[in-house]
């Protein structure tokens, strides 16, 4: 095939992935209902996976901290940190390691465990889910094979049926795309519903570098409808707390008073300024 035809093929097949996901809308909503309940009660979302699935879980969890200022998302991957950079496919058969990993992070009934496996048969993931179920912990399965073992084992599941890959057996392709989209929805929508987004703005962004500092100042300027120089002054007075800066402007109050209002509202800006 020519390069052009291959590009067309990939785009066509990925579009089919989106259409397949749409059929899982009801399951996605059920899963989100559980996740939102957990995070709003300070429970953690723990992703468990191996290979591509594990790396996608790590990617999603690691990006929640700077985006939403939350530590409630955690990812465990078969083989640990080293498996992020070098494939260790044999590790995914280690069933005892999943139990050790979940014990180490002290998983409790307040948490929700999300097992991610394209095939729905990964021993590491299945073992972790079985361990969680014995402890009466809510379990969710994300798999791209309908009626897989993982889908049948978990309390809730999202399982779009990706029947074939462009390169046969390579689940980093369409299955990986589907998993990434699902994880985007789980983390982002649960954070939106928890007050971590105002309008469509990253109101809880951590201003840890120049780009993010400028973004925070821009958010203050936009929400308060004030020039950037005034927004920057508020940002400084608030000690780099974007939400507090906005409250200081709207309520004409001190940083101390703004923080008090945030505490009373569970850090939900919409409850304070509408």
Q: Active-site residue among 13, 14, 89, 92?
A: 92
Q: Active-site residue among 13, 63, 89, 165?
A: 63
Q: What are the distances in angstroms from CA 221 to CA 21, 66, 186, 265?
A: 37, 20, 29, 22
Helix or strand run (H / E) with residue 153: helix 149-153
Helix or strand run (H / E) with residue 74: strand 73-77
Instruction: Bin 12: left if φ > 0, else alpha if -120 < ψ < 50, else beta.
Output: alpha
User: Is 89 marked active-site?
Assistant: no
User: Is 63 marked active-site?
Assistant: yes
Please report the beta strands in 143-238, taking only residues with DSSP state E, as ranges in sequence order: 156-158
Helix axes 25-40, 174-192, angle to 10 degrees: 40
Q: CB within 8 A of 119, min separation 6: which ones?
A: 143, 145, 148, 171
Supply 245's token pair.
């800066």
Question: Which residues does the annotation mark as catalytic?
Answer: 63, 92
């Amino acid at each position: 095939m020519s390069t052009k035809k291959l590009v067309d093929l990939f785009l066509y097949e990925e579009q089919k992935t989106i259409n397949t996901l749409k059929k899982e809308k009801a399951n996605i909503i059920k899963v989100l209902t559980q996740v939102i309940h957990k995070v709003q009660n300070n429970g953690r979302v723990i992703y468990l996976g191996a290979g591509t699935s594990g790396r996608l879980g790590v990617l999603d969890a690691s990006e929640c901290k700077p985006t939403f200022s939350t530590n409630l998302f955690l990812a465990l991957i078969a083989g640990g940190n080293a498996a992020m950079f070098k494939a260790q496919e044999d590790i995914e058969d280690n069933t005892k390691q999943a139990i050790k990993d979940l014990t180490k992070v002290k998983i409790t009934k307040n948490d929700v465990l999300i097992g991610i496996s394209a095939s729905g048969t990964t021993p590491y993931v299945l073992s972790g889910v079985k361990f969680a179920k014995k402890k009466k912990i809510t379990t969710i399965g994300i798999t791209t094979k309908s009626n897989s073992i993982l889908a049948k084992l978990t309390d809730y599941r999202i399982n779009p049926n990706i029947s074939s890959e462009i390169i046969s057996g390579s689940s980093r392709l369409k299955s990986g795309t589907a998993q990434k989209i699902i994880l985007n929805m789980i983390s982002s929508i649960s954070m939106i519903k928890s007050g971590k987004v105002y309008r469509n703005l990253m109101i809880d962004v951590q201003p840890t570098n120049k780009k993010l500092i400028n973004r925070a100042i821009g958010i203050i300027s936009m929400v308060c409808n004030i020039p950037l120089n005034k927004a920057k002054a508020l940002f400084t007075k608030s000690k780099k707390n974007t939400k507090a800066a906005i409250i200081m402007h709207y309520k004409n109050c001190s940083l101390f008073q703004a923080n008090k209002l945030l505490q009373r509202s569970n850090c939900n800006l919409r409850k304070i300024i509408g």
